[in-house]
Amino acid sequence: MAKLACVILLKLKGFKMYIIKIIRNIFKLLSKEQRSKMLLLQVFFVFSAVVQVVGVASIAPFIGIISNPQTIHTNTFLKLLHDFLGAESDQQFIIIFAVLSVSMIFFSNAVSALTLWLLLKFSISIGSELQYKLYSSFLNREYLFHKSTNYTQQISAISQEAPRFVYMVLQPYLLLCSNAFIAIIILLGLLFLSPLIALASAFIIGGAYTITYGLIKKSLVHHGKILTEKYEALQSILSESFIGIKDIKLNTLENKYSNIYKNTNFSGLNSSAFIVLAGDIPKFAIEAISFGAILIFAIILLMTKGNDGSVVAILSIYAIAGYKLLPTMQQIYKSAASMSANGGVAAELKEQLHEYIVKADEVNVQPLQTIKKIELAGICYKYPTANETVLNGINVEFNKGQLNTIAGPSGSGKSTLADIMLGLLQPISGDINIDGERLTKNTLTNYQHSIGYVPQHIFILDDTVIGNVAFGVESANIDIEKVERALIQANAMEFVEKLPLKLNTNLGQDGKLLSGGQRQRIGIARALYRNNKILILDEPTSALDIESEFELMSLLDKLKHDVLTVVISHRPAAIKLSDKICILESGQMLAQGSYSELMRSNKHFQELMEKGFMG
């Protein structure tokens, strides 16, 4: 017996510490203002608890005076109320008291509804703010974070883990607090009437729920982790299947992915069922025990006090107390169970926000007016998790009026060099000089606002042609003439004019109906709309046919006089049309010069071009 008691005490201690840990994580996720609002909400919970208990408790005196009207005159409180109301008869007083009791119940229910509304409103506002913080924090992290992190985890944190925290952790915590105040007030009232019965009630009901929780806590935590893994896996499957829909269709993998989704989704059903069931099972046994105890108490009263009116009044008090206390304790237990099963989410979100970055809006950004030359001097770069540098002592300059191309096989460091030129990665050594001026942290933002970047896969908004070209500009501030001019410069106006609504045609999600060449032209028009002084294109011709590739390179040859143009490519056709070619391999600048110069002087370049590829 003593051993069992020790085991129970240890489990209770573990329950207390784990719940406290979850509550601490909840408060760490809240701002100072939100914590103050929560404190005010707790004060309202106390007021609501008092009103709800008084409303329900008002029924007991009513039952007492119906069963024994003489108590109107023998009970001090009832006699004072009778005299104050000026009732002419006991019957009239009973009717007035009934109206007051019903009114009190209606008022207490209204307060209860208001409490629930404030609780839900507060928790949902917390969830909205939390999702904003997560999204903003992820966006404001360094580019390297996005380059090395699985974005499905970030999406899962925002779209699934944050709502799960609100509905499965924060709301249960608030409900636990609200109901705890009700339980405390009821037990204090019973303690005033009969200390022994109050203590017995707290021990039987509270002890039963606490021991039950202590026994299943580890299982709740375990199944909560299974659900977390399930949600992450589902997010990954959805992302992969929709991004890779072309390969899935070509290889007839629709059924395979559907089955993977089905099996993954079903894998967490047992855990979901266990968590729900664990929150409801104890109430059936505890309700039976509690009402059995009331019946036994009634028999004892009848045997000791006889069948007088006082027995009915006393029993009504304890029956009503039990009627309110049992669901209250059940909700406290259910909230604790939900918090335990899903409490790990609070810790994960706290970890996600440990580097919460608030980035002020750039108000004094002044894009550079002219850029004629970019010089890279001694550029070296190594990724934090890599053992070796990917760029070693790169020295090169790019001039306006030339079509500059960085060429080299896959893995040579071309894209990394482009990221450094974009100011997204900071070299471990070396400088970037713009027209002879060293690029610094103070001038980086101005420099970046002078760059137009066209990636290999153009990001197309689910918006009109206008919205895509003027990407990031408020609708009211879009200059239509500039949009048209950019489209003309990018040789895109011809195909735009053939669209159903021309400039107002919606290009659809990710521009799925556009050809590769059309996507590239939209991307270039987007860069030209902002009057950028530098245009950097990463493998712009890799998905184009020969004719489209030639047209694009001819377009860039025209633009080179207006914009300093740098192309990253491994396609021989694109390389041949360039004025200056820089050959990268294994992070080293092997050679640079015009096509004819390299063909005459560089055997390695000759071999690559003769093979017909550079990758």
CATH number where 510 lies: 3.40.50.300
Q: How many CA atoms lie within 13 A of 318 on its CB side?
A: 24
Q: Which residues are CB-neighbours of 405 under 8 A, at least 6 positions away?
A: 566, 567, 568, 569, 574, 575, 578, 580, 581, 582
Quick: pLDDT tens for 571-586. 777 788 888 988 888 8
**pLDDT score, position 170:** 92
Q: H-helix or E-strand containing 535?
A: strand 534-538
Domain end position, chosen among 352, 382, 414:
352
Whole-model pTM: value is 0.74
Q: What is the CATH number of the domain that holds 276?
A: 1.20.1560.10
List Cα–Cα distances, 349 to 39, 356, 432, in angstroms: 22, 11, 38
Number of domains in the chain: 2
Whether residues 345 and 411 fall in one domain: no
Q: Which three-class secondary structure state does DSSP give residue 550?
A: helix
The C-alpha atoms of residue 449 and residue 365 are separated, in whole angstroms, by 8
- Beta strand 588-593 with 580-585 is antiparallel
Whether residues 333 and 461 fall in one domain: no
**pLDDT score, position 383:** 87
Which range marks the domain in which residue 598 is found? 373-611
**pLDDT score, position 344:** 84
Q: Are 554 and 524 in contact (CB under 8 A)?
A: no
User: Which tokens in the block code for residue 448?
Assistant: 């970046």
Quick: pLDDT tens for 298-329. 676 666 655 555 555 566 666 666 677 778 88
Structural domain contains residue 93: yes
**pLDDT score, position 7:** 45
Structural domain contains residue 62: yes
Whether residues 170 and 279 fall in one domain: yes
The C-alpha atoms of residue 300 and residue 304 are separated, in whole angstroms, by 6
Whether residues 29 and 63 fall in one domain: yes
What b/e readout covers 356-377, taking b as 16+ CB neighbours within 10 angstroms? eeeeeeeeeeebbeebeebbbb
- Beta strand 373-381 with 429-434 is antiparallel
Whether residues 379 and 324 fall in one domain: no
Strands (E), 411-515: 429-434, 437-438, 451-454
**pLDDT score, position 318:** 66
**pLDDT score, position 41:** 92
Whether residues 342 and 390 fall in one domain: no
Q: Are 115 and 179 in contact (CB under 8 A)?
A: no
Q: Which three-class secondary structure state does DSSP give residue 191?
A: helix
Q: Which residues of the chain have pLDDT under 70?
A: 1-17, 60, 67, 193-194, 197-198, 201-202, 205, 243, 246-247, 250-251, 282-285, 287-291, 293-295, 297-298, 300-322, 355-363, 510, 542-544, 611-615
Number of residues in the chain: 615
Whether residues 484 and 516 fall in one domain: yes
Structural domain contains residue 348: yes
**pLDDT score, position 10:** 46
Backbone phi and psi for residue 357, each to the nearest 5 degrees, phi listed first: -110, 125
**pLDDT score, position 2:** 44
**pLDDT score, position 171:** 92
Whether residues 312 and 383 fall in one domain: no
DSSP string, 572-612: HHHHHT-SEEEEEETTEEEEEE-HHHHHHH-HHHHHHHHHT
Cα-only R_g, the chain? 36
Whether residues 419 and 291 fall in one domain: no
Tell me, what amino acid is at 101? S
Whether residues 131 and 201 fall in one domain: yes
CA 189 from centre of chain: 44
Domain end position, chosen among 352, 384, 407:
352
Closest by CA to 338, choosing from 131, 126, 117, 170, is: 170
